[in-house]
Amino acid sequence: MKSFFKYTAATIIGIFITMIIVVVISFSFTASISKEDTVEIKPNTVLHLNFDKSMYDKAPSDIQSSFAGGEKPLGLNTVLENINKATRDENISGIFIETQTFGGGIAMAEEVREALLKFKKDAPNKFIVTYSKSLSITAYYLATVSDRIYLNPSGNLDFKGLSASVIFFKNLLDNLDVEVQVFRPEGCKFKSAVEPYILDKMSEANREQMSKYIQGTWDIIVDGIAKERNITEEELNRIADNLLITNAQDAKDYNLIDFVGHYDEAVAYMKQLTQTKEDKKLATVSINNYKNVEVDDDKEFTKDRIAVIYAQGQIVDGKGSDTKIGDQTLIKSIRSAREDKNVKAVVLRVNSPGGSALASEVILREIELTQKEKPVIASFGATAASGGYYISCKCDKIICNPLCVTGSIGVFGMIPNAQKLLNEKIGITTDIVTTNRNSNELNILEGMTPEMKQFWNKQVDDIYTTFIGHVSEGRDLTTARVDEIGQGRVWLGPDAI
């Protein structure tokens, strides 16, 4: 009994100490947030931008990384908002871009680039300087808005055009005796996600759409570079075709950059621009700290609001997250915006390759209900394809990033048949009892009956018919016209328009 009380007392003391530690940690975390909320910067500060890490339309919350001292996620919304804020902030003298790649992809780079061009236009007395050890084509496209581009003497500029490749598994699956049973409406010949499992090279339809997409992307990139660097598009293509950029000096000689130089030389130039003494450190602020700086925008207070709802990631049934669109979670957000009297309109920001057709249908219904009470505007980011387009097609307006991949109006189903692999190559057999002839429909251990294949073909045909029907209503087109331009094909922004 004495031991019992001794261990019980020890347990109570341990719990008490643990509670104190949790309270201290919580207080410290709260204190750090409060401290972060009161960031102040000095005059002649430079906004420092680095895009090497991954970027999302809206950064996922990451409390664990804050505890671990890790790098906070970057959101496109935060970047754009703070570039705009820097335009009118008297304490910001310019922007310093230090990056080698762009973690958000070419479409997000386009949006950041447009924001930087607006910064130059609205704040002509402020500068943009880029320094990089080495530049990818996406990072370079972004950097061309700069007043000066510095490239490390040992660095390089990747300037040889764009390409896209697909890995095919058909021969491997044939060797393994695995059959992939594909269900795709006849009108969805461009729906190419199934091709790696049934072909050993691109279909003509897929080659056509991919060629048009990468060529259209390259044309937009070349046009933008030509305007900012004062080089003709013909010359830029000649440089890329002939692989004329092999080192930093080549990039300088062909006027793609301004200086072959080191980091300290770029900093020294910015010190001159900010009138910072040589023995003083250049004052800079990162985007994650600058977002907590308050700048008066001279706007009058209003209780009226526009709700911005982010739909980024794969579309799934059930609950979602910051990087996954769950129909239950998104519907709740849309419904909340609809029921809020202070919300006068809704912007649905879409960055999704698609997913569940059923979840997409349910989300679309919630958007239709909201439209009866207030406008719903779709904003397409990097991708708004298949289900991503499905949930948006009836919005009052659709605004599309020029480099967005959109469309893919189509559907497919895919079920593998591994019976030969298991039975003949591995030696595994199965035996099944059923109540009805086709109750064993989704068994990968044996092939499907012709009757079941017909059943699944009808399922995908029905979904496709429903899909193009929604698009027809939302975009005021005939179903025949939607089918003609749909067929599972993806489009670049200007072509989609």
Give 477-485 contacts, CB < 8 A, sequence gap 24+: 482/409, 483/187, 485/407, 485/409
In this prediction, residue 66 carries a pLDDT of 44
Q: What is the pLDDT of residues 238-292, one digit of tens each?
A: 999 999 999 999 999 999 999 999 999 999 999 999 999 988 999 999 998 999 9
Question: For the stretch 175-211, what's the b/e string if a residue is b when 16 or more beta carbons lie within 10 angstroms of its beta carbon?
Answer: eebbbbbbbbbebbbbbbbbbbbbeeebeebbeebbe
- The DSSP H or E segment spanning 153 is none
Lowest mean pLDDT among 70-74, 260-264, 277-281, 330-334: 70-74
3-state secondary structure of 33: helix
Calculate ∠ Cα 294-299-303, nearest 5°.
Answer: 100
Q: Position 79: which residue type?
A: V
Q: Say how far apart CA 433 and CA 286 lie, in whole Å.
A: 64
- Percent of the chain with pLDDT strictly greater than 90: 70
Average pLDDT, the chain: 89
Contacts of 109 (CB under 8 A, 6+ apart): 51, 102, 138, 139, 141, 142
Give the H/E segment covering residue 254.
none
Ranges 121-125, 373-377, 439-443: which has the least confidence? 439-443
Backbone angles phi, psi at 11, to 5 degrees: -65, -45
Q: Provide the 10 A C-beta neighbour count for residue 252.
A: 19
Residue 273 CB neighbour total at 10 angstroms: 17
Structure confidence at residue 30 (pLDDT): 40
Instruction: Name the packing angle between helices 357-371 and 450-475 (round to 10°).
Output: 20
* pLDDT per residue as tens digits for the range 376-400: 999 999 999 999 999 999 999 999 9
261 φ/ψ angles, rounded to the nearest 5 degrees:
-160, 175
Whether the Cβ atoms of residue 108 and residue 382 lie closer than 8 Å to each other: yes
Instruction: Give the separation between CA 484 and CA 497, rounded to whole angstroms.
Output: 15
Lowest mean pLDDT among 28-32, 183-187, 332-336, 436-440: 28-32
Instruction: Give the pLDDT of residue 62.
Output: 54
- The answer to whether 380 and 345 have CB atoms below 8 angstroms apart is no
- How many whole angstroms separate alpha carbon 11 and alpha carbon 192? 61
Mean per-residue pLDDT for 168-190? Answer: 89
Query: Can you give the pLDDT at residue 90?
Result: 95
Which range among 35-44, 333-342, 455-464 shows the weakest confidence by mean pLDDT?
35-44
Residues 292-318: tens digit of each pLDDT: 998 887 778 889 999 999 999 999 999
State percent of the chain over pLDDT 70.
Answer: 90
Amino acid 183: pLDDT: 87
Report the relative pairing of strands 314-316 and 376-385 from DSSP bridges.
unpaired
Place 417 in a pLDDT band, splitting at 50, 70 and 90. Answer: confident
Q: Rounded to an integer, what distance in angstroms lies between the CA atom of residue 81 and that of residue 34?
A: 21
Q: Which sign, positive or negative, has the C-alpha torsion 127, 227, 108, 64?
A: negative
pLDDT of residue 487 exceeding 60: yes
Q: What is the pLDDT, as a whole number, of residue 92?
A: 97
Per-residue pLDDT at 29 exceeds 80: no
CB burial class (10 A; 0-12, 13-18, 19+) of residue 374?
middle
Of the pLDDT bands very low, low, confident and very high (cuts 50, 70, 90), residue 38 is low
What mean pLDDT is predicted for residues 361-390? Answer: 97
Return the DSSP state at 340: -
Chain centroid to CA 44: how far? Answer: 33
Contact call for residues 393 and 348 (beta carbons, < 8 A): no
Degrees (nearest 5) of the Cα angle 279, 280, 281? 125
Report the 10 Å Cβ neighbour count for 254.
18
Please name which of 168, 220, 224, 159 lies closest in space to residue 194, comparing C-alpha atoms: 168
Check: CB of residue 487 under 8 Å from CB of residue 206: no
From the list 243, 284, 328, 251, the residue with the least C-alpha distance to 48 is: 284
Q: Does the pLDDT value for residue 330 go beyond 60?
A: yes
Reported pTM: 0.86
pLDDT band at 446 (very low <50, low <70, confident <90, very high): confident
Q: pLDDT category, 114, cuts 50, 70, 90?
A: very high
Evaluate if residue 69 carries a pLDDT over 50.
no
- Structure letter (DSSP) for residue 174: H
Averaged pLDDT for residues 102-120: 96
Structural contact between residues 282 and 42, judged by C-beta atoms closer than 8 angstroms: no
d(CA 203, CA 458): 24
State the pLDDT at residue 64: 43
